[in-house]
Amino acid sequence: MKKVLLLIPLFIILLSGCSNNDIYGTWEVVDNKNGLCPVSYKFETVVKEEKKEKIIQYLVEMQTTKKKDDLYKGSFVKDSNVYHIDYGNSFTSDQTLKVVDGKLNVYFYAVEKLCTYKKK
């Protein structure tokens, strides 16, 4: 009986580490009064199998305004705390992405701007 009682706190501690603090999914901007933040992001991982080899792609979609034409698609690589995002011929961007209290904070190094997003 004592072993069971000792296991319960252990499971609680282990499960608390399983919180969903990753960037994957669709995010929309919380406050964009100045119009300086992209309106939404979508992060996903795609696994393809080519010639018996698994290829993992980390994909991103960024919508800068609500217009359909302002959708940029690319891929990203995480290097320490910085995400290097490549939107193909359009541009590249280095950003810090961090989920805090269920919200995604995106810091844009090039313009020194912080934008906050909520999960859609």
Per 3-state DSSP, what percentage of the chain is helix, strand, and coil (rounded to 5)?
Answer: 15, 50, 30
pLDDT digits (tens, 9 = 90+) for 26-69: 999 998 878 899 999 999 999 999 888 999 999 999 999 989 88
Residue 41: per-residue pLDDT: 97
Indicate the number of domains in the chain.
Answer: 1
72 lies in a domain? yes
The enclosing domain of 53 has a CATH number of 2.40.128
Give the residue ranges of DSSP H helices in the chain.
Answer: 2-16
pLDDT at 17: 43
Say whether pLDDT at 84 is over 80: yes
Q: Both ends of the chain: CA-CA distance in Å?
A: 44
* Per-residue pLDDT, 20: 58
pLDDT in tens, 3-27: 544 445 444 444 444 445 799 999 9
With CA atoms as reference, report the closest residue to 99 among 21, 7, 24, 25.
21
Domain that residue 78 falls in: 21-119
